[in-house]
């Protein structure tokens, strides 16, 4: 069996790591990188830190408007799929790289498996929501991370193509958590264990409107402990363009960090402030309280279990939410126990 994995953006490299390991001995596994993310600390560092094999192909597509970026990926991936003739194209998550690979493959009658299928925010302003819905409906096999995702797929008439495999981010997170346990926190700013927060902001809905971005930064600046803001290049670029100083009040600005450093920084922190999908869930799995700067979340379990609070408007009161007391402990495992990659590979082999 030959499987072509297509990735392009940071969260996809994290999901690829356990899959690449689980493929060994079961498939001829090829990796195509679209080049959507290209900075060293947004891309190569993840391959090196997580022991992911070097991509067999890199399209070097880079940044651009949605149509321009997705179109360049479609053209490049079509050629790679024709040349390699895989039995499956495996796509990850909800980025433009995901959608481009799914569309390129189905048009060539190559079967598509979608890892992290069935997530829904029901927010049609998010580019990722369109990428998910379109990919799920194009794909032949839907590898869902949670029962909630399975239920969404069933509602859309996709139950027969869906398999609950668990969440591969749990696999990689637990491995890396154990590797970094006991090592010092490696951030550019010196921090004290439990005495700081970790923040990330990158969603267009938060970064593109200067008034909203300013309100978010002002809100975070009032938090009573240091906040290390790991600034995605998109955030840095837009803040500069709008004349917004990111390093206000409690905030110290840092470059994005590698995955092991991130996991170590989160596990030793007092909490997380983010608009990232993955980080909300990582915070929950590490039992660190999270405040999410969005009107809704795909990872509803984190909210229902009390570890995640959504803040969408009242950023003046953000500090109080961030500094709330820790919730009651739970041993709930809605994201599986760390065996999802093996289950995903099994599902491909069986079909």
State the residues that interact with ligand UD1 by CB under 6 A. 9-11, 36-39, 42, 63, 94-96, 127-128, 202, 233-234, 237
User: What is the bridge-based pairing of β-strands 57-58 and 162-164?
Assistant: unpaired
| Closest listed residue to residue 281, CA positions, set 210, 340, 227 | 340
Closest approach of ligand UD1 to the CB of residue 275, in Å: 9
Closest approach of ligand UD1 to the CB of residue 37, in Å: 4
Q: Which is nearer to ligand UD1, 21 or 37 (CB)?
A: 37
- Asked if 168 and 189 touch (Cβ cutoff 8 Å), the reply is no
Distance CA 321, CA 122 (A): 24
Q: Which is nearer to ligand UD1, 101 or 221 (CB)?
A: 101
Backbone angles phi, psi at 164, to 5 degrees: -85, 110
Distance CA 111, CA 126 (A): 26
Closest approach of ligand UD1 to the CB of residue 230, in Å: 11
Tokens at residue 275, please?
């608009």
- Asked if 180 and 212 touch (Cβ cutoff 8 Å), the reply is no
Q: Which is nearer to ligand UD1, 191 or 216 (CB)?
A: 216
Distance CA 105, CA 85 (A): 10
- Asked if 283 and 307 touch (Cβ cutoff 8 Å), the reply is yes
Closest approach of ligand UD1 to the CB of residue 128, in Å: 5
Closest approach of ligand UD1 to the CB of residue 112, in Å: 17
Q: Which helix (H) or strand (E) holds 314?
A: none
The DSSP code sequence of 237-302 is HHHHHHT--SS-TTEEEE----HHHHHHHHHTSSEEEE--HHHHHHHHHTT--EEE-SS--S-HHH
Q: Which is nearer to ligand UD1, 36 or 162 (CB)?
A: 36
| Closest listed residue to residue 261, CA positions, set 336, 337, 339, 176 | 176
Distance CA 341, CA 65 (A): 32
Q: Which is nearer to ligand UD1, 63 or 183 (CB)?
A: 63
Closest approach of ligand UD1 to the CB of residue 197, in Å: 20
Tokens at residue 299, please?
């990872």
Using the 8-state DSSP alphabet, how is residue 185 labeled?
P
| Positions marked active-site | 202
Q: Which is nearer to ligand UD1, 63 or 189 (CB)?
A: 63
């Amino acid at each position: 069996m030959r499987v072509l994995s297509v990735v392009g953006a940071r969260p996809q490299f994290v999901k690829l790591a356990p899959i690449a390991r689980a493929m060994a001995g079961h498939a001829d596994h090829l990796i195509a990188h679209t080049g959507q993310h290209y900075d060293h600390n947004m891309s190569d560092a993840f391959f090196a830190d997580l022991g992911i094999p070097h991509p067999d192909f890199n399209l070097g597509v880079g940044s651009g408007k949605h149509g321009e970026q997705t179109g360049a990926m479609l053209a490049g991936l079509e050629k790679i799929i024709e040349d390699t003739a895989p039995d499956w194209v495996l796509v990850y998550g909800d980025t433009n790289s995901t959608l481009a690979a799914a569309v390129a493959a189905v048009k060539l009658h190559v079967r598509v498996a979608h890892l992290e299928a069935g997530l829904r925010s029901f927010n049609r302003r998010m580019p990722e929501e369109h990428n998910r819905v379109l990919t799920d409906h194009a794909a032949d096999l839907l590898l869902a991370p949670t029962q909630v995702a399975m239920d969404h797929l069933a509602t859309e008439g996709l139950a027969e193509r869906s398999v609950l495999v668990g969440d591969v981010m749990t696999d990689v997170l637990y491995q890396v958590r154990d590797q970094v346990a006991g090592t010092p926190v490696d951030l550019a700013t010196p921090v004290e264990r439990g005495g700081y927060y970790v923040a990330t902001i990158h969603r267009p809905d938060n970064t593109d409107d200067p008034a909203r971005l300013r309100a978010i930064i002002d809100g975070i600046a009032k938090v009573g402990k240091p906040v290390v803001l790991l600034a995605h290049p998109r955030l840095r670029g837009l803040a500069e363009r709008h004349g917004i100083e990111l390093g206000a009040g409690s905030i110290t600005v840092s470059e994005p960090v590698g995955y092991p450093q991130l996991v170590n920084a989160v596990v030793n922190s007092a909490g997380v402030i983010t608009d990232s999908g993955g980080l909300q869930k990582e915070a929950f799995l590490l039992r660190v309280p999270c405040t999410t700067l969005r009107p809704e979340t795909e990872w509803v379990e984190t909210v229902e279990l009390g570890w995640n609070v959504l803040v969408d408007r009242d950023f003046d009161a953000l500090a109080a939410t961030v500094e709330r007391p820790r919730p009651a402990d739970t041993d709930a495992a809605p994201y599986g126990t760390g065996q999802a990659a093996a289950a995903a590979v099994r599902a491909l082999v069986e079909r």
